[in-house]
């Protein structure tokens, strides 16, 4: 027997009760599991593992000694394989590589690669701060969909508006998407967003003034995150899940079309 608020209950009764009681939902239809931060922790873990693999691929190098006064790391063979790259050859008369050459996986892998210890430390700190709050509000699945679609949107923007031979990588595209989603989510919850504006402004100034940062990637992630966040937050309650799924599907379809259009422009096909 197990103690209850009134008397005792048998284990079988408790199990039946758990199966018949509907789990609590957030204001946006997500499950209450977001309070545990499982999705945020998993994303941080994947980024850390990819950082370790990148360093291992370079024989232990790549954590520092790169840009930003030597505080950023240098590119590794794993970056060469997985960073956003439009269309270029690594050697004279060598084969073309990049997204336009059919390496579309780069649009996903790039958001899990970082240039050195400082780069990943800053991004993972931002993911921890922003991710925990949004995961609680949206639930793990909706939060994960937002993160991945925003990161993909930022990388597609980098593909569209960067030089074909320019490489970029980092979770910043997805993290700027979290910044963008915060505004409609907090507005829908009736909370003040003024404290978030200075943080976003500082990040935008940093993006626009520090060399080698992908401006299209950050702004693209911000825009996609805002639009997806608005779709999740303002979906009508009666058809909330259907509308939210449609938001994800429409965003993914649009990004796919833009990618194919840019590929055709770069390859002339």
Where do the H-state alpha helices sit in the chain?
11-20, 38-57, 77-82, 106-109, 117-138, 140-161, 172-188, 196-209, 215-233, 240-267
Question: Which one has a higher pLDDT value, 53 or 200?
Answer: 53
Domain presence at residue 58: yes
Confidence class for position 26, pLDDT limits 50, 70, 90: confident
Cβ atoms < 10 Å from Cβ of 199: 14
Question: Which one has a higher pLDDT value, 166 or 20?
Answer: 166
Domain presence at residue 103: yes
CATH number of residue 115's parent domain: 1.20.1540.10
Domain presence at residue 1: no
Question: Residue 23 burial by CB count (10 A; 0-12/13-18/19+): exposed, middle or buried?
Answer: exposed
pLDDT, tens digit, 9 for 90 and up, residues 149-159: 999 999 999 99
Stated pTM of the model: 0.87
Domain presence at residue 12: no
pLDDT, tens digit, 9 for 90 and up, residues 97-141: 999 999 999 999 999 999 988 889 989 999 999 999 999 999 999
Domain presence at residue 102: yes
Cβ atoms < 10 Å from Cβ of 27: 12
Domain presence at residue 251: yes
| Residue numbers annotated as active site | 172, 218
pLDDT, tens digit, 9 for 90 and up, residues 134-186: 999 999 999 999 999 999 999 999 999 999 999 999 999 999 999 999 999 98
Domain presence at residue 214: yes
Q: Which two tokens stand for residue 157?
A: 């923007």
pLDDT, tens digit, 9 for 90 and up, residues 198-247: 888 888 887 777 767 899 999 999 999 999 999 999 999 889 999 999 99
Cα–Cα dist 16/76, whole Å: 54
Q: Are 213 and 220 in contact (CB under 8 A)?
A: no
Q: How many domains does the chain have?
A: 1
- Which range of residues forms the domain containing residue 127? 34-267
Domain presence at residue 210: yes
Cα–Cα dist 30/190, whole Å: 18
Cα–Cα dist 63/55, whole Å: 7
């Amino acid at each position: 027997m197990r103690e209850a608020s009134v008397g005792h209950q048998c284990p079988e009764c408790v199990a039946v009760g758990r199966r018949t009681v509907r789990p609590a939902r957030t204001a946006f239809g997500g499950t209450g599991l977001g309070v545990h931060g499982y999705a945020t922790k998993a994303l941080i873990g994947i980024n850390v593992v990819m950082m370790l693999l990148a360093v291992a691929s370079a024989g232990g190098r790549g954590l520092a000694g790169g840009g930003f006064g030597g505080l950023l790391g240098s590119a590794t063979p794993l970056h060469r394989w997985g960073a956003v790259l439009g269309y270029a050859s690594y050697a004279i008369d060598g084969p073309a590589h990049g997204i336009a050459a059919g390496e579309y996986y780069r649009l996903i892998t790039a958001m899990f690669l970082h240039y050195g210890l400082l780069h990943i430390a800053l991004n993972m700190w931002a993911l921890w701060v922003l991710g925990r709050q949004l995961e609680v509000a949206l639930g793990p699945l909706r939060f994960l969909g937002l993160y991945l679609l925003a990161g993909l949107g930022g990388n597609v923007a980098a593909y569209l508006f960067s030089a074909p031979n320019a490489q970029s990588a980092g979770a910043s595209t997805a993290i700027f998407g979290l910044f963008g989603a915060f505004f409609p989510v907090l507005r829908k919850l009736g909370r003040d967003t003024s404290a978030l504006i200075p943080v976003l402004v500082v990040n935008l100034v940093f993006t626009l003034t520090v060399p080698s940062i992908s401006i299209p990637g950050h702004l693209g992630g911000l825009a996609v995150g805002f639009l997806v966040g608005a779709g999740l937050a303002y979906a009508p309650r009666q058809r909330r899940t259907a509308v939210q799924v449609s938001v994800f599907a429409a965003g993914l379809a649009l990004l796919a079309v833009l990618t194919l259009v840019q590929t055709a422009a770069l390859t002339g096909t």
